[in-house]
Amino acid sequence: MKTKRLKQARKIVGFYKSYFDICPPFSILIDGTFCKAALQFKINIREQLPKYLESELKLCTTLCAKAECEDLGPLLYGPFKVLQQFDLESCGHHSPLTAAKCFQSVMKKKKSIFVATQDQDLQEIARNRKGTPLLYITHNAIILDNPSNKSRHSAERNVANKISLSHHEQEQLNRLKRTVFGHDELKKRKRKKKKGVNPLSCKKKKTKPKEPILKNGVQKRKRKKKIKIAPHIIEHLKSSS
């Protein structure tokens, strides 16, 4: 068996274990069409199915499914002989029904059961029931069908219900809040507003003082300060030149 196919089957089995409490040994309800495909592709159901699902299995069928194969005579003689090897699941039908109708009634009574069939109508019935794993044969391999949308949606609802608080639990939580904090809800922390620039940290631009203006409108000129040089330095400069 290919590793990829085994990993995929392990993942799907884990889904049904987690969300629908389907535990080993798994019950596998098998009809004549599945046995016919197994004979065609030389698949030993009793040997390969436990390896594929990596678990102990209870392979079973119903009297109605056996009667359907028997009525068709030589055409389904091989599948009939294969079905005879499996345990009988009680269906309670005194007058035999078709395998599809019989399996449908068994699925209603027993939720945690796998269905193995090549009948497309029965496959659709299984997909429309939440938590019903479906097995079929394609080419030369047994395939565990991906969980249907109905099963996925049911699993999502179950998770949401577990997470959400009940009315009673919510009331208890509110009482605890009142006891601890003195009110129903915690005060929302005030968010600090973004502060502006600190005016003290900003240096003002220095402006140059304007020259004083006299009465006649003429600006008073600034006198340049003369640098006083010592006489001996002047004499030294003259002599050096």
pLDDT in tens, 189-236: 556 666 666 666 666 666 666 666 555 655 556 666 666 667 766 676
Residue 186 lies in a domain: no
55-77 mean pLDDT: 93
Token pair of 98, please? Answer: 């078709």
Residue 79 lies in a domain: yes
30-51 mean pLDDT: 96
- Number of domain units in the chain: 1
Q: Residue 110's domain is classified under what CATH number?
A: 3.40.50.1010
Spatial contact of 31 and 116, defined as CB atoms under 8 Å apart: yes
Residue 192 lies in a domain: no
Token pair of 151, please? Answer: 């099963």
pLDDT above 60 for 117: yes
Q: What pLDDT sits at residue 155?
A: 81
Q: Looking at this protein, which amino acid is placed at residue 115?
A: V
Domain region containing 91: 3-155
Beta strands in 118-201 (DSSP E): 134-138, 141-144
Residue 62 lies in a domain: yes
pLDDT above 90 for 133: yes
Residue 198 lies in a domain: no
165-178 mean pLDDT: 68
pLDDT-derived band at 74 (thresholds 50, 70, 90) equals confident
Residue 182 lies in a domain: no
Residue 174 lies in a domain: no
Residue 114 to residues 14, 16, 66, 67, Cα–Cα distance (Å): 14, 10, 18, 21
CA distance 41 to 201: 88
Residue 22 lies in a domain: yes
54-62 mean pLDDT: 96
57-73 mean pLDDT: 94
